[in-house]
Copies of this chain bind each other. A is one copy, B any other.
């Protein structure tokens, strides 16, 4: 699975087409580090199913002709020739095959004559890092093909359901399987959101407690990740909406009811993301006001100490002067006065008391 770490949203790989600009459309260039494709299949009908890994492509045609529904999953996009052969068997348009290999498509639905092409983004959090992988899905008359670059996906539940055969899935067509896959991809966003919800919650606690420096970077990262999430789910919502609204030959009326449910989930995810984004934006403001409060407190301590000690220090400085009292009675007679020192201390105490009263009246001596 392709990973983007902290800097992910800006990584050149995130928007750099593998194909150089100006190439002819339909030019398919495999990413340099792509894996060799592995083809696994599920072929099933109401009462039976066959699961396997395919080496020779003849097997594929056999499966397609003998089972009502065949789900072909291709993991690894490293062998362009192989992919083209698969495409030929399943009647896949070259342009859409290019989109399969160029992993930076926006989620979308495209209707080709013989099949429906859907691009989705699978998300998961792996080692605290948001990972994204493109899932390209073709729904045909008798088959569903999924392409993904790396192993590991959120479709294991569906495989299990096919194996067990308990639910509707075995008795319905490829459009229902397609729906099930889309639903699994969309539902996998919820645990990711949960994670971000928790992170925001923790961050909120920390910021409200003490606005430390590192929290800005953390908050910034969450905001960026939410941008990525949003960029992925918005077009998925549009794609799902198009699946419900427009009439596609391969989608039956029955499945459309289920897609509506899936669309509802996508809308709920968007709602949550927008909420999180709003909260994150508010948290930045909260951070700034907490930092401003902290500075205020520091300044108050400085001001309190300074205003208390600077005036009496001045008085002490005055009586530290060395004017010669012997020369003239005008020169610092206080020094030779009997109660000079106590009077001086008294004056200092008076000044300080005044200052403290002033500070107290401003409320600067009580902690905020």
Give the B-binding residues of A (Cβ under 8 A).
7, 9-12, 14-17, 20-27, 95, 104-106, 108, 110, 154-158, 161, 166-169, 180, 183-184, 187-188, 190-191, 193-194, 197-198, 200-201, 204, 208, 210, 212-213, 216-217, 220, 223-224, 227, 231, 257-258, 260-261, 264, 267-268, 271-272, 275-276, 278-279, 282-303, 305-307, 309-314, 316-325, 327-328, 330-332, 334-342, 344-345, 348, 362-364, 368
Pairwise interchain contact B22-A184, C-beta atoms closer than 8 A? yes
Pairwise interchain contact B293-A296, C-beta atoms closer than 8 A? no
Give CA–CA (A342, B342) in the complex, Å.
Answer: 22
| Cβ contacts A to B, 26 pairs, < 8 Å | A9-B279, A12-B197, A15-B194, A15-B268, A16-B190, A16-B194, A20-B157, A22-B154, A24-B167, A25-B258, A25-B261, A105-B268, A106-B264, A106-B267, A108-B264, A208-B217, A220-B283, A224-B279, A282-B284, A298-B300, A299-B302, A306-B306, A309-B310, A330-B338, A331-B338, A332-B341
Give CA–CA (A335, B10) in the complex, Å.
Answer: 67
Residues of B within 8 A of A10 (CB): 197-198, 200-201, 204, 276, 279
Give CA–CA (A317, B315) in the complex, Å.
Answer: 9
Query: A28 to chain B: closest CB distance in Å?
Result: 13
Query: A334 to chain B: closest CB distance in Å?
Result: 8
Pairwise interchain contact B322-A328, C-beta atoms closer than 8 A? no
Kindly report how many copies of this chain are found in the complex they form together. Answer: 5
Give CA–CA (A363, B209) in the complex, Å.
Answer: 13
The 4 closest A-B pairs by CB, nearest first: A22-B157, A316-B317, A21-B187, A24-B167
Residues of B within 8 A of A275 (CB): 9, 227, 231
Give CA–CA (A157, B24) in the complex, Å.
Answer: 9
Knowing A295-B292, A320-B322, A321-B322 are in contact, say whether A284-B285 is a contact too (CB < 8 A): yes
Task: Indicate which residue in B167, B282, B297, B310 contacts A305 across the interface (CB closer than 8 Å).
Answer: B310
Pairwise interchain contact B314-A312, C-beta atoms closer than 8 A? yes
Knowing A15-B190, A208-B217, A299-B298 are in contact, say whether A278-B227 is a contact too (CB < 8 A): yes
Knowing A10-B198, A154-B22, A337-B327 are in contact, say whether A15-B314 is a contact too (CB < 8 A): no
Residues of B within 8 A of A341 (CB): 321, 323, 330-332
Give CA–CA (A222, B292) in the complex, Å.
Answer: 21
Most chain B Cβ neighbours within 10 Å, of A11, A290, A298: A298
Residues of B within 8 A of A348 (CB): 318
Pairwise interchain contact A311-B305, C-beta atoms closer than 8 A? yes
Residues of B within 8 A of A220 (CB): 204, 208, 282-283, 286
Task: Indicate which residue in B14, B108, B297, B320 contacts A316 across the interface (CB closer than 8 Å).
Answer: B320
Give CA–CA (A184, B282) in the complex, Å.
Answer: 33
Q: Nearest chain-B residue to A283 (Cβ)?
A: B220
Residues of B within 8 A of A157 (CB): 20-23
Besides A24-B166, A208-B216, A213-B368, 16 more A-B contacts (Cβ < 8 Å) are A10-B197, A10-B201, A20-B157, A22-B184, A24-B168, A24-B180, A106-B271, A208-B217, A220-B282, A288-B289, A292-B295, A299-B303, A316-B317, A317-B320, A319-B321, A328-B337
Knowing A305-B307, A306-B310, A328-B339 are in contact, say whether A187-B17 is a contact too (CB < 8 A): yes
Task: Indicate which residue in B204, B301, B309, B342 contacts A330 across the interface (CB closer than 8 Å).
Answer: B342
Knowing A22-B157, A184-B22, A344-B321 are in contact, say whether A193-B15 is a contact too (CB < 8 A): yes
